Amino acid sequence: MEKILVVEDEESILIGLADNLGLEGYDVTTAKDGMAGLALGKDGSFDLIVLDIMLPGLNGFEVCKRLRAEGIATPVLMLTAKSLEADKVLGLELGADDYVTKPFSPRELLARIKAHLRRSGMQSPDAPVHRFGGITVDFRSYEAARGGMPVHLTALEFSLLRLFLDNQGIVLTRGEILDRIWGKTVYVNSKTVDTHVAHLRQKIEQDPSSPKFIVGVRGVGYKFTAESCLTGALR
């Protein structure tokens, strides 16, 4: 049974989400403030976190930021009453995987939750270990490291990186990335792709002098360039 943490301070929304997700067969844990949500989320036992932005104590932005700083890669779906593009982009830049604006359709939210859980479970247990430019990525354990030091990637970033590695040298359009990562039943725009790719690149291309593994193709999308790998071939 997949475990979902819901962090929401509005009682009616919290109860409604817990009931609906429970009826869908999920094991649901709830929290009503940011500090409680952070404490629960840090144990890393949840398959997905539904996180409201406007919370007492710590807001959702800060909770998400601290979870990612702790190396928690659990998918985070943020709930926000704010419709400003800047607020949505901030959440994504802090490590959130998706967002839903209130008021939302329960069916839409459930579809997005299922899409993220399905993507998180897509990695094959015998997936290979990849090495490039001093970075080692093990998709079996969801671990990445550079020179023995951990590189903290979110579940969505692992999925993005796996997609690029499986399609080395092939240009993937933003539309293809949206379909393969978010699914056709979930609506997000192309800016979401750009935000997450930029975040991934910051983590795997930290050194300005290091090779650029993910290359943007103007007006089209992105590709992973195997030619830039310091170790030659990936295995």
| 99 lies in the same domain as 171 | no
Q: How far is CA 22 from CA 29, 30, 144, 227, in A?
A: 10, 12, 33, 48
CA atoms of 15 and 28, how far apart (whole Å): 11
Q: What is the CA radius of gyration of the chain?
A: 18
Q: Summarize pLDDT for 18-29 with one digit per residue, the tens.
A: 999 999 999 999
| 85 lies in the same domain as 9 | yes
| 134 lies in the same domain as 218 | yes
Of residues 96 and 12, more confidently modeled: 12
- Tell me if 82 is assigned to some domain: yes
pTM of the shown model: 0.65
| 13 lies in the same domain as 103 | yes
| 98 lies in the same domain as 154 | no
Q: How far is CA 33 from CA 12, 16, 165, 171, in A?
A: 15, 17, 39, 43
Which DSSP letter does residue 170 get?
A: P
- Tell me if 200 is assigned to some domain: yes
Of residues 63 and 119, more confidently modeled: 63
CA atoms of 184 and 180, how far apart (whole Å): 8
- Tell me if 194 is assigned to some domain: yes
Q: Taking residues 163-190, what's their average pLDDT?
A: 80
- Tell me if 201 is assigned to some domain: yes
- Tell me if 159 is assigned to some domain: yes
CA atoms of 234 and 129, how far apart (whole Å): 9
| 113 lies in the same domain as 136 | no
| 106 lies in the same domain as 212 | no
Q: How far is CA 111 from CA 108, 166, 180, 197, in A?
A: 5, 26, 15, 23
Output the six-digit token pair for 202.
Answer: 């910051």
| 53, 80 Cβ separation under 8 angstroms | yes
Count structural domains, the chain: 2
| 7 lies in the same domain as 113 | yes
- Tell me if 57 is assigned to some domain: yes
pLDDT band at 35 (very low <50, low <70, confident <90, very high): very high
CA atoms of 90 and 195, how far apart (whole Å): 10
Q: Summarize pLDDT for 86-120 with one digit per residue, the tens.
A: 777 777 778 888 888 888 888 888 888 888 887 76
Q: According to the model, what pLDDT value does residue 234 have?
A: 37
Of residues 228 and 168, more confidently modeled: 168
- Tell me if 71 is assigned to some domain: yes
| 8 lies in the same domain as 114 | yes
| 87 lies in the same domain as 157 | no
Output the six-digit token pair for 116.
Answer: 């993220």
204, pLDDT greater than 80: yes
> What three-state secondary structure class fits 135?
strand
CA atoms of 139 and 15, how far apart (whole Å): 35
| 105 lies in the same domain as 137 | no
Of residues 109 and 148, more confidently modeled: 109
Of residues 21 and 184, more confidently modeled: 21
> Among the three residues 120, 155, 178, which one is the final residue of a domain in this structure?
120
Residue range of the domain that includes 21 = 3-120
Q: Taking residues 56-61, what's their average pLDDT?
A: 93
170, pLDDT greater than 60: yes
Question: What CATH number has the domain bearing residue 216?
Answer: 1.10.10.10
| 173 lies in the same domain as 80 | no
Q: According to the model, what pLDDT value does residue 211 have?
A: 66
Report the mean per-residue pLDDT for the chain.
83
Q: Summarize pLDDT for 149-164 with one digit per residue, the tens.
A: 888 888 888 889 989 9
Q: According to the model, what pLDDT value does residue 210 have?
A: 64
Question: What CATH number has the domain bearing residue 38?
Answer: 3.40.50.2300
Kindly state the percentage of the chain with pLDDT values over 90: 29
> Among the three residues 53, 88, 120, which one is the final residue of a domain in this structure?
120
> Among the three residues 77, 102, 120, which one is the final residue of a domain in this structure?
120
- Tell me if 39 is assigned to some domain: yes
